[in-house]
Amino acid sequence: MSYEVLARKWRPRDFDTLVGQEHVVRALVNALEQQRLHHAYLFTGTRGVGKTTIARILAKSLNCETGITAGPCGECSACQEIDSGRFVDLLEIDAASRTKVEDTRELLENVQYAPTRARFKVYLIDEVHMLSSHSFNALLKTLEEPPPHVKFLLATTDPQKLPVTVLSRCLQFNLRHVQADAIADHLLSILAAENIEAEQPAVQRIARAARGSMRDALSLLDQAIAFGDGRVGSDDIAQMLGDVPRERVYDLLDALADGDAGKLLAQAAKLAETVSDFSAVLDDLSAALQRLAVLLAVPERQLDDPQEQQRLDTLAERLSPEDVQLYYQIALLGRRDLPLAPDPLSGFEMVMLRMHAFRPAEVDTPPLPARGPAGSGTEPQDVEPSTAIAQQAQARIADTPVPQVESDWHKLLAGLKLRGLPYEVAANCELLLNDAARFKLRLDPAHVNLLSDTAHERIEKALCATLEREVRLEIEVGITESETPAERKVRLSDERYLKARESIANDPLVQALQDGLGAEVDDDSVRPLDA
């Protein structure tokens, strides 16, 4: 007996077993139960999402010998013949191979005649957008005034190519991409029924690779079973799909978190030994960054894979949400620019070095004074934007309280190895108490939205490890009286900026350019050498 591929063997036979198109099923079931039947249905969507499958189920529902029903019996001769593709009153046409108007006219010549033995004569036209304009005109005449015994079921991946006159005469159903989780669950149920051993991460990888197509997922599963000699394993799937090992992706993120450019390039060189498609590497890196961003925003969301969850938890302590968002954007743009690089490896290395070189801007600028009434003495003079930047930096320094040394909280924080939200919370605190058993901080109210149980727990854990004793961390919210590490960072940055600006302004060459050519210094471009 010949082998039947999974995509055919497990093709849904009724609406109850259809996966991922609940919005379409609901509309069709209600219409069938209420006997509100249209003469033409149009199913749109990308390949493998169930367009022709739904059309065949609908054909069975219309012609089941038990009557018009949303649940065809599957046992009568009409249902079985439709399933096997030999029902005389279901005419399936591939429009891609029958585009001529003569073909369409020949097909429609028999529309006026009653079905041979069914309730309705059903025309299922696949890839209907491939018909010629003359063929559409011929079809339109029938769609305008169809005989009561005829139903048209049209399917297309490109509805924009259909004439508006045709679209307006059809009930249109837009099928969605099937979610990866739904595909994975369906594949697991099939594997269980087939008694095939499978690792869940491997099945999830197949589901993601299918990109919303259930048929593609089943084809990949067939290939995976053959590749793994009757077993679906993660290593086999990675090799079959040419995937980047997940550990390598997280090694890249670890190198970014370390700020180690040498390590980053070394990881890229290792990837080059086994990977030829670096755009796929950036895809996997983007996917990992997306999962990391979700974890930082919603810590209670956990993955099914404990090993990956552990890597993400570690990275969440070392990378801030802003860093992750920036890396994600660079990865997306880098994938777009990769074909323009001299070679794939150098292009990938530049994307990684771009992630290493850039950091999200820290903006903490107070608003400029409000413009007062003319002649009131409170109206500020119009200033160039670059001058305003310098004035704001000077204002921040002049408002800043004098730093106070409190058990050297600034140095202690630098040794805690905190990253992300826990670091941001701690950096915006001042130290109130540090004794044998208690460690008390005060958090500036402007940053209270950063505080969470997870951040509190991670700061306390880091303190215990660094102080080498068990301490209970307390964080109260209130106006800070001394300079927090975050405020000190801003102050020192402003001082370096003003010093660099002064150095440039006093440079003889700059002055000569200003005097001789009327050049102006763009203060917004000034950066200290140690920035």
All structural domains of the chain, each given as residue ranges with its CATH number in brackets, are: 6-174 (3.40.50.300), 180-241 (1.10.8.60), 246-357 (1.20.272.10), 409-482 (3.30.300.150)
Return the number of other C-beta atoms located less than 10 Å from residue 124's C-beta. 23
Mean pLDDT of the region 243-249: 78
* β-strand pairing of 438-443 with 429-434: antiparallel
**Strands lying side by side in the sheet with 429-434:** 429-434, 438-443, 472-477
CA distance 328 to 308: 18
Residue with tokens 């975050």: 486
The closest alpha carbon to 253, from 262, 238, 264, 269, belongs to 264
How far apart CA 91 and CA 33 sit, in angstroms, is 24
pLDDT of residue 112: 81
Query: pLDDT band at 524, cuts 50/70/90?
Result: low
Task: Write the DSSP symbol of residue 370.
Answer: P
pLDDT digits (tens, 9 = 90+) for 382-422: 444 445 555 555 554 447 343 333 447 888 888 888 888 88
CA distances from 127 to 92, 200, 212, 456 (A): 11, 35, 19, 58
Alpha helices in 168-277 (DSSP H): 180-193, 200-209, 214-227, 234-241, 246-258, 261-274
Give per-residue pLDDT as tens, 91-106. 888 887 766 677 677 7
458/447 Cα distance (integer angstroms): 17
* Distance of alpha carbon 67 from alpha carbon 470, whole angstroms: 75
The pLDDT assigned to 522 comes to 66
Task: Tell me what pLDDT residue 434 has.
Answer: 86
Report the relative pairing of strands 438-443 and 171-174 from DSSP bridges.
unpaired
Query: By three-state DSSP, how is residue 68 classified?
Result: coil
pLDDT value for 530: 55
Sign of CA dihedral 421, 423, 428, 434: positive
pLDDT digits (tens, 9 = 90+) for 485-518: 988 888 888 787 788 777 777 777 767 766 766 6
pLDDT of residue 391: 55
The residue whose two tokens read 């109210």 is 445
8 Å CB contact between 212 and 239: no
Q: Distance from CA of residue 249 to its chain's centroid?
A: 16
Compute CA distances 60 → 38, 90, 146, 423, 428, whole Å.
15, 9, 20, 62, 66
pLDDT digits (tens, 9 = 90+) for 135-151: 888 788 888 888 889 99
Residue 508 has what pLDDT?
76
Query: Which of 95, 123, 94, 127 is CA-nearest to residue 108?
Result: 123
Q: Which residues contact 223 (CB under 8 A, 6 or more apart)?
A: 240
Residues in the chain: 531
Structure tokens at 192: 């269980």
CA distance 51 to 56: 9
Helix (H, G, I), strand (E, B) or coil at 443: strand
Summarize pLDDT for 276-294 with one digit per residue, the tens. Answer: 788 888 988 998 999 899 9
> What is the average per-residue pLDDT within 59-73?
91
Please report which helix (H) or strand (E) contains residue 472, including its range.
Answer: strand 472-477
CB count within 10 Å of CB 122 equals 25
Question: What is the CA 318 to chain-centroid distance, rounded?
Answer: 22
Strand pairing partners for 42? 154, 172
Q: 15-63, pLDDT tens digit by residue?
A: 988 888 889 999 999 999 998 889 999 999 888 898 999 999 999 999 9
3-class secondary structure per residue, 176-197: CCCCHHHHHHHHHHHHHHCCCE
Reading the block at residue 363, the tokens are 């903006």
- The pLDDT value given to residue 60: 93
Question: CA of 444: how far to CAs of 104, 152, 482, in Å?
Answer: 75, 67, 11
In three-state secondary structure terms, 119 is coil
What are 316-345's pLDDT values in tens digits? 888 888 889 999 999 998 888 888 888 889
Give the torsion through C-alpha atoms of 383, 387, 389, 391, to 10 deg. -90
Supply the pLDDT for residue 362: 56
Q: Is the dihedral of CA 374, 377, 382, 388 positive or negative?
A: negative
345-393 per-position pLDDT tens digit: 999 999 999 998 887 765 444 443 333 333 334 344 444 444 555 555 5
* pTM for the full predicted model: 0.58
- Residue 348 confidence (pLDDT): 92
Mean pLDDT score of the chain, rounded to an integer?
82
Position 409, amino acid: W
Structure confidence at residue 523 as a pLDDT band (50, 70, 90): low
Looking only at the bridges linking them, the beta strands covering 438-443 and 472-477 are parallel
Whether 270 shows a pLDDT value over 50: the answer reads yes
